[in-house]
Every structure is written in C-alpha cells, then in structure tokens.
Chain A
C-alpha cells in the first residue's frame, strides 16, 4: 500500500483529528498510522513538515519503557550521506492515544519500501553485482562516517533496509535510535559477546560490531535466507563459539567465491582482526587482502564435563554454565575447574583467579546467601573475561548495564538481580577480570563504581533508583506521579509537576524515591542533609526537605513561576504553620504564603518555612506568655481569696491611710495657722 493510499484509508478518522506540533515545524497525526514503517519497538505515524509539506515524513513514537538513543540523535541527524534514514526532529509530545507524553522522532520517509519484509517467501537472493552496487557501495561510506563520528548503528539487519526509490537501485539503512542499541537484533546478527547478552543489555558497542552485523546482512542478501533460522539464540551462540561465526553462519550456504574474502573478514570473531571499512573499500577497489582464518579459542587436552556435555574450551563452558545457573554451582564447588584450567588449558593466571574466588567463598559467612551466586559469576568472568557480566541467568554487557536495568525496571524479579549484582560489586569484579586495561571503559567504570556505592544505601535519593538514573542520563523519571509525563531532564521536572498540580491537588507527596533519586543523579549537588531529611518520620521535616530540593532545582533550571506547585507545597506545609503558637504570626504567615503562591517561587516559600529564628522566638514567646498567664491566674486566685480585701490587709492599709490622711490634714492646718497668725 502506498503512502497516499494508506493515509486516505484512514482519512475518515485521521483528517481533522488532533495534530501535534513538535518544535513548531513538524505536525504529527496520531490518527494516521503507518504500520509499514514501524520499527520493532516503535509505532510509525504520519508527520508533516509544515515548511516543506511535499516531502513525506513519518514519526516513530517510542515506547515508554524503552530508552531511545537520545545521546546520538543530534550526531546522527548531521550525517551527510543519503544512505541512512535520518532523524529530522525529535522531542516529547502529548500523545493522547497512549494517554500521556511520549518521545517521538520524525524521520524523512524513504522513497521505496523495505528490502526485506521479514518473510522468507517474499525475498529472493540478490545478485553479487547488485549487492556490490546498491548495498556495499552506499553503505560502506556510511559505516565509515558513523565510525568517524563515534556512533554505532547497532540495527543493521535485512528488515531495516529500505530502497531509496521505486527503481530499487540503491538502499538506505533504517533508523537505530528509537530503542536501546541492539535490542531488536537477533543473536545471529550480533557478535558472540553481544549474542550472549540480554538484548536490552548489549550496550552501544563499537564500530566492529556494526561491521559484523553488516557481514551477516550480506550473507542474508546473498542467500535469501537468515542463517541458522531454525536455531534458538542460545544454539546460535553455542555454534559460533564451537565453530567460529563464519563457519556457523556460512557453513551450509552457497557463498559466491568473490564474497568469501569479505565475509571471512567481517565475520571474524576477534574484533581487532575484523575487517574495517577501509578493508572493504580496498576490496571494492579490487585489492586482494589476506583471508582471515577463524580464530577459535584454545582447546583443552581433556574435556570438562558439565550437564552431560563435554567442553574443550573455557568460553563454551562458561556460556553453558551461565545458561544453567542452578547446576553450575555444584559443578564448580568441587574445585576441579581450577585444576582443569591449569592442567588442560595451561592458563595459570586464570586458574589462580578461580582458586582465589573459591577460597573467598569458603571464608564467606554462612548467612551470606548471595555468596554462592557471586562465586559462580566471578568464576565465569575468569573463564571468559570478554563475555557479558552474568548473574543468575541475567547476562549484560558492562556498557549495557544501565540500559538493561532501565528496560527491566518494571520486572521486580529482574530488578532484584541488578540490586544483588551491584551490591555484590560484580561489575567492578568484571573490570578486574579483564585481560588488558580498556581505556575506553574508564568513564563507564567510574559510573558503575558510583552505582555500586548507591545500591548499598537504601535511603531516598539512593538505592536502585539512583543507579537507574545515574547509569541512564537520558532515562525519564519513573515516578508514578509522572506516569503521564515524560521527564528526561531535571529542567522539565518542575514544569511536569506544575502541570500535575494544575490538574488538581494530588494526594501524594510531590517528591518520592524516584524524583529524589532523579534530582540527585541529574543535579549531582544535592546536600546529604536534604536526602537524609527526605526519609524523616516527621512529615514537616520531610516536606521541608522536598521543598528545598525542588526550590534548588527551580533556582538552577527554572521556570521562574510555579504557582500550582507552590500551592501544593503550601497545602502540604500547612501543619508547619500550625506548629507556631503565635496565632497572629500564623495569620501573617498564611497571608505571606498566599502572596508567595501568586509569585510561584519555591525558594521564597522554603525561606519562609525554614526560619529557625522565628521558631525559637515563638517558643520563647510562648514560654513567657505561659508564665504571664500563670502569674495572672495566681494573682486572680489571691484576689478572689481576699488577698487585697481581707481583714488583715484592710487593717494594715487603713492604718497607713489614716496616717497619711492625718499627715495631709496636719499640713493643711499648718498652712491655715501660718496664714492666720501672719495676718
């Protein structure tokens, strides 16, 4: 179905429906679906460029639970080659079909359809000449440019290839930014290491990973079928480990002689030996290169038996142990594995590392329930250092740890595995187990060290939530409060809370564990005191800490006015006003709050409530007032009991009064007599 037909087919529902602006230039039509342009993890909708309405565009609306590759969008959009569907615009939109905000990316639509629809019956093998001209020639420069820009595509597969036009003379690579890298890739298109990892935890990888996928793509185009299509991912990886990728994928296929050389080069399992784009260009130019032989792991002199299978190399054994976690422990604890490593494989350093790990397990306390699992994980690292980090059936590449945590965050049982993994500092053990130092991983190591530290602290602002945001700088805040929002950056947080407060005063507190961790991870300068107070038992202390946290965010990122959020806080902090004894001061505070709510500045509200001098003055004033009250009560009691009008007091007072009256009269008499005798 052509684009126009598709659009018209839904025009009755779509035209005149809600259209959404994205940065003012593009208009998204939520009612006009374009299923043929769907990505595996994002639905396609029609989009219009308001400046150039004749150029067809489509938008991919990303799933909320998957992280788009926001970090490379800008760089990908600047790629000059016309061999890739480029993102034109992206951002968060109010996506009413999903009842909330979603991340959407607008792409320019390719002129032709998909090269490979996914159904084997519909696809015929391409000729060698056609592949050279319309696939290799345009895509190799693209891969080179991606590599030079430090970007990996990680979605090179047949169903992500499009023809540029109806003539079908040239192909373009589809998008790779709507989901985590490598998520939609089948294991067959991934290197051995990436194939071992959970799809969401493969990480961005490196340019050789794209070249490997490109090699598999060429095999598919040449043969018209996906290699190992009848095998599970686990079987594919096992086959690659056993025979090498080239043999496993091309063993039964009829590969043209001219393609043997590039395919051997591209499917080389040693990434340092794998063909580069330069090699491919040379090959295209007719230069002959030394054929690569499959680099198989060293074989043992004696096999290691596990679960009825005999293994002759450490990588295959590690992979099998990792896939059968419950049985891995008993096979490892007998200590034979270190002996096998030493005697059969002759790898003394690794044997020593395994021996040390086993000894550490013996010293671990009986209460430490996770010790056995950590031991297995460490032994697997020693057996196959290049493999992903494995723990209780979960396997993730170290760079994909954050993305995997994010993708699995809605699965509590998986999250628990990540918590145990980080608390046990297994990712750091993975770095220690590497054969050579890897400078490219230094920044990742630093982040993971922080995450391991945060995972051990349970307070708000730390824990697994902090790890989630620390390891995924673009991951939106997962607070239930923000379920209808999409807040990736801290600058958007307050606007989102303002919208929520504007819709009606929610019963929840404005800062939960997620928002606290999100702010702490994004701003990096949240004082410990505030985070401690977020977990305080006293609601007033807790709310004050929340207010100060968000006031700090407002000060850093704006917006300047947040009247609804300020009102929300004012209502939460109402009990704090009642904490003051002095009622006129309370009224004064209430009036001041009303004024500040209009002003919408959280910082001022924070200063108003966080006033220890006023609290102290109020307490002192109250103590004085209570003393005055008691004093007055005592005086009243004394008076009512005849303290002043009692006989004794009256007698004493009357005597004094008599003396005084007498003195006054005497004085008058003296004056009169003086006047009388003077005359």
Chain B
C-alpha cells in the first residue's frame, strides 16, 4: 500500500501539466461560447471586483458576501440577454436597461451592508453567549464540588491525599 502511494506521488510529480492542458482545452471553447454572457456579468459584477480590491482578510469573506448578492442581482440582466439570444447584438439593450444595473448594484450594496452591519450584531451575540456559557460552566463546577468535595477544585500537587475527605 505504501508502495502504491509512492508510485502515485511520483506520477503526479512527473506530469503536472496534464490538468492544466485539460482545463484550458475545455474552458476556452466554453468561454468563447458564452462570451456575451460573461461580458454582461463582468460589467454587472464590478462591485465584487471592488470588494476584492478592498478585501483585507485571506478568507475573502467580503468578496463572498458581496459577490453572492451581486451575482444574484446580475441574474435579471443575464436572463434578459438570454431572452435576446445571448449574442453581442443583444448586449446593447441589456446595458441600456437601468433596472438591470439597479438590481445588480443594489444587491451588491445589500451585500456590503450585511458585511458592515454584522460585527455589532455578532459582538452582542458573543457577549450574551459568553455570559451564558460562563454560567453553565460554573454550574458544572458547582456540581463537581458537590459530588467530589472542595478537593476537586485544588490543583493535583496541592490536593488533599486520599482519605482526607
């Protein structure tokens, strides 16, 4: 089994280029096929690009928060594009539709809003949760003392010897 694992690892090291070739071979034709859609999406999701630029953490929570909302907000424009046949000719009416921009950018704004409002809400929650948790832990400690005596609260090196009660 260890031998098989070694062989697999060696095979991976000797051919790292295979997935990349496969990726570009599939992606490029697909991208070419959906280029009008991608163009509309690229313009509608500019707030997400902004969020990506403004993101400070490595986990990209801001991008995820804004991006998911922004993507959903962009879907009416994409639907309209697909209603026009998903062609470069149909891009113009879509880009001129203010409602589409409004929905896409508003949704992104809601995403920003969620991101900005969440810390005070979570802080309040954490404070309450901490207090509750402390109460529960103290209750557990009291129960342990009730069952095992005060000695249970003492560290092992200073604990009373067995038989001392």
Contact = CB atoms under 8 A, between A and B. Distances in A.
Interface string A469-507: 000000000000000000000000000000000000000
Interface string A618-649: 01011001101110110110011011110001
A655 B162 contact: no
Interface in A301-316: none
What bracket does the count of chain A residues touching chain B fall in? 35 or more
Interface in B96-131: 107, 110-111, 114-115, 118-119, 121-123, 126-127, 129-130
Contact of B165 (A540, A578, A633, A656): A578
Contact of A540 (B123, B156, B163): B163
Given A650-B122, A655-B61, A583 B130 contact: no
B41 interface: no
B130 A658 contact: no
Given A622-B148, A639-B134, A645-B126, 19 more contacts: A575-B163, A581-B151, A581-B152, A621-B148, A625-B144, A625-B147, A626-B152, A626-B154, A632-B144, A644-B129, A644-B130, A650-B123, A654-B121, A655-B57, A657-B122, A658-B114, A663-B68, A669-B72, A669-B73
A666 B62 contact: no
**7 tightest Cβ-Cβ pairs between the two chains A and B:** A655-B61, A654-B122, A579-B163, A578-B165, A654-B119, A645-B126, A669-B72
Given A650-B123, A673-B72, A619 B148 contact: no
Contacts of B66: 662
A653 B72 contact: no
Interface string B127-161: 10110011001101100111111011111100100
> DSSP class of B's interface residues: helix, strand, loop or mixed?
helix
Interface of A: 540, 575, 578-579, 581-584, 619, 621-622, 625-626, 628-630, 632-633, 635-636, 639-640, 642-645, 649-651, 653-659, 661-663, 665-666, 669-670, 673, 677
With a 10 A CB-CB cut-off, give which of A540, A649, A653, A655 has the most chain B CB atoms.
A655
22 contacts: A583-B147, A583-B148, A626-B152, A632-B140, A635-B137, A636-B137, A636-B138, A640-B130, A644-B126, A644-B130, A655-B57, A656-B59, A659-B68, A661-B118, A662-B68, A663-B68, A665-B68, A665-B114, A666-B68, A669-B69, A670-B75, A677-B79
A658 B72 contact: no
B162 A581 contact: yes
What bracket does the count of chain B residues touching chain A fall in? 35 or more
A583 B147 CA distance: 5
A662 B68 CA distance: 6
Contacts of B152: 581, 622, 625-626, 629
B71 interface: yes
A654 B115 CA distance: 8
